[in-house]
Amino acid sequence: MTKDLIDILQISREEIDELIAKAGDIIEQPDVYAHKCDGKKLATLFYEASTRTRLSFESAMIELGGSVIGFSSATDSSVSKGESVADTARTVECFADIIAMRHPKEGAPYVAANNVDIPVINAGDGGHNHPTQTLTDLLTISREKGRLDNLVVGCCGDLKFGRTVHSLIAAMSRYENVKFVLISPEELKIPEHVRTEILEKGHIDYEETDSLENAMPNLDVLYMTRVQRERFFNEADYLRLKDTYILTPDKLTYAKYDLSILHPLPRVNEISVEIDKDPRACYFKQVRYGKYIRMALMLKLLGVD
């Protein structure tokens, strides 16, 4: 495995399967892992706000016996004085054993990784990559469905700016007989590079539709996404598109009894709160799985068995 995790495509299917197996072992016997990272320090360098991802990384390291340093917004760090990403990373390397970085600009964690010897994990760089979310999604699907192959996966909502969808498609395209149903309004369709370079080049079965109701009966997994205000330059476009798809109990009447509903969270209103009680809703379990897969990943990158 590479020193860092910047893009999910850096790691092979076998390495992903290994991480999923390790996370499963951590879930089964957490006590065995409680002191694996005693004395290790994780630096969480978060240049933009995040609740789930930062707390997930931090609790993952704490549950491995390690400790955490870092900052949770750019204003709390030397970046407000004009320090470059490379210099911040070099400084933090003197204090920490591993870095998790979130940054609004695409490629910032790659710059950090190229300037330090310790592992760097991309915890989200703008609308670009968020590999630990993808690992979380894969672990969730694997645990809930018992497999990552032979599935019909529906991706619904903002497929244009939704980086988690792009990475999920890229990762799941490596498994046999996975079909994608891409549900979005015209303006938020999957980008051309995902369609041509992943789906068409890999001869992956997919269809595009704007109807969630029509797609629903065939889905094994429904991956809902939020229309993200922060990805729009134009507020009017955001307001026009934000309520396009809202998952309600009515729409679920067409779904399979064993459908798994995922969402990278936070949600705004795209999944009705009434769905939360439905056994098919997996999105809060998904958050918990996120901690376990990050534990597995940090163990791997730190070379701890």
C-beta separation of 56 from 294 below 8 A = yes
- Tell me how far, at minimum, the Cβ of 107 lies from other proteins, in Å: 3
Residue that has been written with the tokens 């991309």 in this structure: 122
Contacting residue, 76, 197, 243, 274, with other proteins by CB under 8 A: 197
Closest to other proteins by CB, 183 vs 194, is: 194
The span from the CA of 279 to the CA of 156, in Å, is: 20
- Of residues 64 through 103, those in contact with other proteins by CB under 8 A are 84-86, 103
- Of residues 107 through 126, those in contact with other proteins by CB under 8 A are 107-108, 110-111, 125-126
Tell me the CB-side half-sphere exposure of residue 77, using CA atoms within 13 A: 24
- Tell me how far, at minimum, the Cβ of 147 lies from other proteins, in Å: 30
User: What is the chain's length?
Assistant: 305
- Tell me how far, at minimum, the Cβ of 105 lies from other proteins, in Å: 4
- Tell me how far, at minimum, the Cβ of 86 lies from other proteins, in Å: 8
Closest to other proteins by CB, 88 vs 136, is: 88
Find residue 120's DSSP bridge partners: 99
Contacting residue, 105, 200, 237, 250, with other proteins by CB under 8 A: 105
Residues 139-178: x where in contact with other proteins by CB under 8 A, - otherwise, as a string: ----------------------------------------
List CB contacts of 255: < 8 A, sequence separation 6 or more: 216, 217, 219, 222, 280
State the DSSP code for 281: B
Closest to other proteins by CB, 80 vs 253, is: 80
The span from the CA of 114 to the CA of 19, in Å, is: 24
Closest to other proteins by CB, 106 vs 187, is: 106
Closest to other proteins by CB, 101 vs 215, is: 101
Q: Which stretch binds other proteins (CB under 8 A): 14-22, 105-113, 137-145, 292-300?
A: 105-113
Tell me the CB-side half-sphere exposure of residue 76, using CA atoms within 13 A: 11
The two three-digit tokens of residue 232, written as one number: 């729009």
Buried b / exposed e along 36-60 (16+ C-beta atoms within 10 A): bbeebbbbbbbbeebebbbebbbbb
- Tell me how far, at minimum, the Cβ of 82 lies from other proteins, in Å: 10
Residues that bind other proteins (CB under 8 A): 84-86, 103-108, 110-111, 125-128, 193, 197
